Structure 1
Amino acid sequence: MDLRIFTEPQQGATYDTLLTVAKATEDLGFDAFFRSDHYLKMGDVDGLPGPTDAWITLAGLARETSRIRLGTLMTAATFRLPGVLAIQVAQVDAMSGGRVELGLGAGWFEAEHTAYGIPFPREKFSRLEEQLEIVTGLWGTEPGKTFTYEGTHYRLTDSPALPKPAQKKVPVLIGGMGAKRTPALAARYADEFNIPFASVEDSERQFGRVRAAAEEHGRRADDLVYSNALVACVGRDDAEVARRAAAIGREVDELRQNGLAGSPAEVVDKIGRYAEIGASRIYLQILDLHDLDHLELISSQVQSQLA
C-alpha cells in the first residue's frame, strides 16, 4: 500500500510551509506529495496569507526534492486552457526529472471562480473530456509532427505539441463518484482512479463501475491503479487524537467514521479494509501543516506496518 501526503493549501499555507511538508514527506519515506488546486478557502478559517497556485508550487518543489512524486488532486479544468496546461505540466515534469502526475477534474467550486474572475461554464464535464483528449494528444504526438483538434469548446491548429514531458507517459488521475460518465472517462484516459472521502462500501461500488468500464473499453481492469483520499488524524492515545481533531475543527467520532482516525493500529486496520476492495494507494489529507510530528508518527507506526 502506497501512502501519499495530500495537502489543502487554500486553507492557509505559504510556499515555505508547503516546502517544509514536502521535504518531510520525502525524508519520512512517503511515496508522494500532492496538493489541491483551489484559490479560495473553505469553511471557518481565515485562509491567510491567501492562496498559492498549484503548478507554480509544484515547480518550486520539483527543484527542492529528489525522490517523491508530485501532483494534484485535482487540477481544475476551468482554471487553465488545455494547451497551456500541457506545457505547464510537461515543464514541471522536466524540472522534477520525471516525477509529476496530473490529476484533472471538471472544477466545481463556483465561489472561487467568482472571487477571481474565472469563468464558470455550465458544460464543465464536456470541457473536461476535451481537455483530457487535448493534453494527452499533445504529449502523445510524435516529435516533428503537429497536433490539430476541432472540438466544441477548444480548437488547436497545427500545434507543434511541444514541450514533451520527461516521462514517456505522465500518469493521469481521474476521480469522483459519478455512476456512468466518470467511469467511462477513466476507462479512456486514466492511469489511476481516485475516490475522495468515501466509505469502503461506496468505494467498492465505484471501483466496480470503473473496472467494468475499463473492460468494456478494451482495457484490463487491473491496468488502472485504484486509490482513496481520506483525512488523517492519528494519535498515540485518545488524548492525542482528540487534540489533533480539535486543531482541524473536526469531531473524533466523525473522523473515525469518515476518515482515518484513531490509534496507529486502528488506522492500519481501516486501511486494510480499503486494500481488500482493491485500493493500492491512499492519499492522507493532512490539514494541520505545522504538525510534523503527525507525519513522523504515521511514518513510523502506520506506514511501517504496510510495507
Structure 2
Amino acid sequence: MELRIFTEPQQGATYDALLAVARRAEETGFGAFFRSDHYLMMGSVSGEPGPTDAWTTLAGLARDTRSIRLGTLMTAATFRLPGPLAITVAQVDQMSGGRVELGIGTGWYDAEHSAYGIPFPALKERFDRLDEQLAVITGLWRTPPGETFAFTGRHYQVSDSPALPKPVQQPHPPILLGGMGAKRTPQLTARYADEFNLPFVSIDDTVTQFGRVRAACQEIGRSPDELTWSNALVLCCGKDDAEVARRAAAIGRDADELRENGLAGTPAEVVDKLGRYASVGSQRVYLQVLDLADLDHLDLVAAEVLPQL
C-alpha cells in the first residue's frame, strides 16, 4: 500500500508552511503531496492568513520540489472553466516534469461560493457540468498535436481549439474521482478516472462503494483493474497513547473517536487498520495531516509505518 500526504490549507496555512510539509514528505518517502481545493475555512478556526489557491500552490511546489507527485483532493469544478483548467494542469505538469494528478469533483461547500461570488448550481446541474468538464479536459489533452478539438454540450461549447499546451504525462495526467454517490459517481469514474477515492468512510462503506464502481466499469466493458482504489483518512499517530492524545487535542479531536473514524493510534494500530482497508481492495491511502507545524508526525509514520507496508 502507498501512503500519501493530504493537507487542508483553507484551515490556515501559508505557502511556506505547505512547502515545508511537501519537502518533508518528499524526503521521508511518501508517495505524493496533495491539498484540498477550498476557499473558506470550516469549523471554528479563523482560517488566517486566508485561503491559498490550489493550482497556484501546486505550480510553486512543482518548482520547489524534485520528485514527489502533486495533486488535488478535489478541485471543485464550480471554480474553473474546463478549457482554462486543462491549460493550468498541463502547464503545472510541465513545470513539475510530469508529476501532477487532477482530482476533481462537483464542489459541495455552498458557503465558500457565497463568500467569494462563485455560482453554486443545484447538485444535478453540478454533476452535469462535471460530466461535460471531464469530456472537455480529456478531449483537449488527447487531441493529437496539429489537430483541433470541438465539443458541444449544454453547459460548455468548444470550437476549433488548438488543444494546447500538452501535459508531459501521456495521454494525460491521472484523473481522480471520488465520493459516495450511488449512480453518477460510479458512472463518471468508469468513463473517465484513473483512480477512485473515498474520503473519510468506514471499511463497510468502502466495500459498498467500491462494488458500485466495479459494476459500473463492467457495464461499459472496462476492467476494474485499470483503476487505482484509494481512501483518505485523518491521521493521528503517536509513539504511545499520550502522544496520540496530544496530537488529537492539537486538532480538536478525541483520540478514541479518531481511532474509530480515522487512522489513529500507535504505529502498530495504524498498520493494523491500513491492513484492514487493504483487505477490501484499497491500494493507496491519503493521510489527512491537519497540524502542518508537526513535521515530527510525518517522521514517525515514515520510520515506523511505511517500512511495514
Unaligned runs of 5+ residues in structure 2 are none
Aligned to 1:153: 155
Query: In the alignment, does 2:179 pair up with 1:182?
Result: no
1:143 shift after superposition: 0.7
1:252 shift after superposition: 0.9
- Cα deviation, 1:14-57, whole Å, max 9, x if unaligned, reads 00000000000100000000000000000010111000000000
Letter in 1 for 2:72: T
1:215 shift after superposition: 1.3
Query: In the alignment, does 2:283 pair up with 1:271?
Result: no
Aligned to 2:256: 253
- Cα deviation, 1:164-201, whole Å, max 9, x if unaligned, reads 00111210000000111110110000000000000011
1:212 shift after superposition: 1.1
Letter in 1 for 2:257: E
1:137 shift after superposition: 0.5
Q: Give 1:1-307 correspondences, 5 Å limit.
A: 1-122=1-122, 123-168=125-170, 169-306=172-309
1:160 shift after superposition: 0.6
1:66 shift after superposition: 1.1
Identity across the alignment (%): 72
Structure-1-length-normalised TM-score: 0.99
1:217 shift after superposition: 1.2
1:11 shift after superposition: 0.1
Distance 2:307 2:10 in 1: 30
Letter in 2 for 1:64: D
Distance 2:132 2:39 in 1: 23
- Cα deviation, 1:198-225, whole Å, max 9, x if unaligned, reads 0011001110111111111111111100
Distance 1:278 1:238 in 2: 29
Per mean C-alpha deviation after superposition, the further-off stretch among 207-216 and 75-84 is 207-216
Letter in 2 for 1:105: G
Distance 2:234 2:167 in 1: 31
- Cα deviation, 1:79-130, whole Å, max 9, x if unaligned, reads 0000000000000000000000000000010100110111111211100110
Distance 1:121 1:157 in 2: 25
